[in-house]
Amino acid sequence: MSDGQHHVSAKRYRRELWGWLSYAFASEVFVIVSLTLFLPICLEQFARDNGYLLPDKTVPCSSARGTADEDIRCVVKLGWAWVDTASFSLYVYSISVALQAITVISMGGIADHPPHRKPLLSAFAILGSVSSLLFLLLPSSSPSWPLSGLLAIFANIGFGASIVVLNAYLPYLARAELASSVSQSGPPGSLDADSPEYAALLSRTTSRISSLGIALGYSSGILLLLVTLIPVTKMQGSTLALRLAIGGSGAWWAVFSVPAIFLLPSVSKQNEEGIVSEEQEGLLADVDANTSSPRGPRAWSAGKEIIAAWKRLGTMLRWREIKRLKNTFRYLAAWFILSDGFTTITSTALLFAKTTLHLPASSLILVGVLTPSAGILGALLWPILQRRFTWSNLHVIILLVSLASLIPAYGCLGLFFGASKDGSGNGWGLRTAAEMYVLAVYFGAVYGAFQSYARALYAELIPPGEEARWYGLFSITDKSSSFLGPLIVGIIADTTGNIRYAFFFLVVMLWVALPVLWGVDAVQGRLDAQQYQAQAVDEGRVVLD
């Protein structure tokens, strides 16, 4: 390759990297502003605006607004069933995550087909952003208010599926950056792609790009949260103010997705410079290999790819494969529990703050700002502590999970150390806004680091060369479990009438994962993954079919 072509490749890489970062900047606001903050609150408010107080179910919930009494229960009728208003958003979230998991599994083969990757990303970005925007057109006084749940489901599916497609670009960007740096610092072939040095450098490069995307996404979410603080404060946390915040996240998502769609690469046999990049050749080779038969290449079909995706998932989950990679699957079992646990802590804490602590919307926004801000600091601080004390990735994760379990445990204490009988003081055990702010910072510092280390440890336990397939299983495990926690918390809230009891469930949930983590042998897991890949090569296959 000539020097001029090296320059073109570096220029193309920077353009595509900015496209990738642009979508991270665009979409992450939905998580920070809507999914983890305003959406559950808004859905609860939609239900409350149409609900009635127990036990007679004749007095509107709005008549008790602002009353600081944990014994007051508000229910809304959906079809033939009466549902606690605090549980409505949890049920909606559970359904959305279950459908998101089905979508992610089904679209895996389509996302791996390069010509359809960008259109798929665009379609899910449109689905998610438009669904968020439509909250602006649906007042809680409308007879069609239950559609708010449907919009929330579509928005969450759009976000989750688009992020899976976005992550498919990450290995390409990392290899493209290395190719660009090698071409500028040394002659071609100066760094062997099969060498341990190249593997380590590729791992660090992938982590750096991924971390940059997370940091940029967190920054955009914090920025929009500060903007939404103005209308929410002035409108005293009304349903309209919450709808404006969710609609604003949809508008942000849509606007900043535009440069991503233009800048991300479109794979074709001939690019604009008349050069087919090495990455494109690899992707196209994978497509040819996966779409062939004994009689030659077969026509690509979305329906066939969906069926094939479910078949491939079944193959990976065979007992024979699980035994060969027992440490990998043991870690996936722990991840199944932990990903649900951390997500449920977030949603439960916000609903608890609104329905039990009766924090105003402005205070909830402050919680939403403190958590991701502390997450950025935690992601930077924990690697320093790891180097200082020479902890392994597994030991850091175990420590983080142990620290996270103290949050719901502290909330449980509120049942035993409440306010005194004479009414003096608030007691302790998550009963005041100040406690909520402190725990938001604490949780953010733990959760930000946990997300980073969870991906890093998993990278050590998967077969080399099959990263996309196994990270797909990693995502599926996350999505397939994330509806269980909110569902059980919703049932606890409905059954007991006090969402605080759900903290006991969250403590047990995290503690159950700890012995599973202790059973993971990371060193043996790496050896098993390498042997697994070596055997795959000997058998003439790179992926399991």
Average pLDDT of span 22-40: 88
Q: What percent of the chain has pLDDT over 90?
A: 20
Residue 198 has a pLDDT of: 67
Instruction: pLDDT band for 283, please (50, 70, 90 cuts).
Output: very low
- Cβ atoms of 146 and 83 closer than 8 Å: no
How many angstroms separate the CA atoms of 219 and 379, rounded?
Answer: 14
Q: pTM here?
A: 0.73
Residue 65 has a pLDDT of: 61
pLDDT tens track for 38-48: 898 899 889 98
Residue 504 has a pLDDT of: 92
Instruction: State yes or no: pLDDT of 543 exceeds 60.
Output: no
Q: Per-residue b/e over 115-147, b at no fewer than 16 CB within 10 Å?
A: ebbbebbbbbbbbbbbbbbbbeebebeeeebbe
Q: What percent of the chain has pLDDT over 70?
A: 78
pLDDT tens track for 89-132: 888 988 888 888 888 888 876 776 667 888 989 999 999 999 99
Strands 292-293 and 74-78: unpaired
Domains present along the chain, CATH in parentheses: 1-62+74-266 (1.20.1250), 321-545 (1.20.1250.20)
pLDDT tens track for 193-232: 566 566 556 656 666 677 677 778 888 888 898 888 788 8
pLDDT mean across residues, the chain? 78
Instruction: pLDDT band for 402, please (50, 70, 90 cuts).
Output: very high
Could you tell me which residues come within 8 angstroms of residue 506 by beta carbon, excluding any fewer than 6 positions away? Answer: 341, 344, 345, 348, 405, 408, 485, 489
pLDDT tens track for 444-454: 989 888 887 78
Termini Cα distance of the chain:
36
Residue 191 has a pLDDT of: 57
Least confident of 240-244, 369-373, 460-464: 460-464
Could you tell me which residues come within 8 angstroms of residue 123 by beta carbon, excluding any fewer than 6 positions away? Answer: none
Residue 202 has a pLDDT of: 61
- Other C-beta atoms lying within 10 Å of the C-beta of residue 467: 16
Omega before residue 55 within 30° of 0, cis: yes
318 or 406: whose pLDDT is higher?
Answer: 406
Residue 71 has a pLDDT of: 56
Q: Collapsing DSSP states into helix, strand and coil, what is residue 185?
A: helix
Burial (CB count <10 Å: 0-12, 13-18, 19+), residue 189: exposed
* Torsion angles phi and psi, residue 468, rounded to 5: -60, -45
What's the order of all strands across the beta sheet hosting 52-53?
A: 52-53, 74-78, 81-84
Can you spell out the DSSP letters for 353-368? HHHTS---HHHHHHHH
